[in-house]
Amino acid sequence: MKRILGFFQLIRYPNLFFVMLTQVLFYFCVIKTQFIKFGIDGPRLVQFDFYLLVLSSVLIAAAGYIINDYFDLNIDKINKPERLIIDKLISRRWAMFFHLFISFIGLLLTAYVSWHLKNPFLLLFNSLTVILLWFYSTTFKRRLLSGNILISILTAWVIGVLYVAEVRWSFGEILPYQNAAMLNLYKLSAVYAGFAFIVSLIREIVKDLEDQDGDRKNNCETMPIVWGHIATKIFISVWILVLIGILVIMLFYTLFNGWFLMSAIILLALLIPLYLNFKKIQLANTPKDYHVISVNIKLIMFFGILSMISYFYHNS
Give the model confidence (pLDDT) of 156-179 as tens digits. Answer: 999 999 999 988 765 555 555 457
Query: Residue 21's pLDDT band (boundaries 50, 70, 90)?
Result: very high
Q: What is the pTM (predicted TM-score) of this model?
A: 0.93
Mean predicted confidence (pLDDT) in 94-111: 96
With 0-12 CB in 10 A as exposed, 13-18 as middle and 19+ as buried, what is 141? Answer: buried
Query: Residue 37's pLDDT band (boundaries 50, 70, 90)?
Result: confident
Question: Does the pLDDT of residue 205 top 70, yes or no?
Answer: yes
| Among 61-70, 83-92, 104-113, the range of highest mean pLDDT | 104-113
More confident position, 179 or 148: 148
Query: Residue 91's pLDDT band (boundaries 50, 70, 90)?
Result: confident
* pLDDT for 174: 53
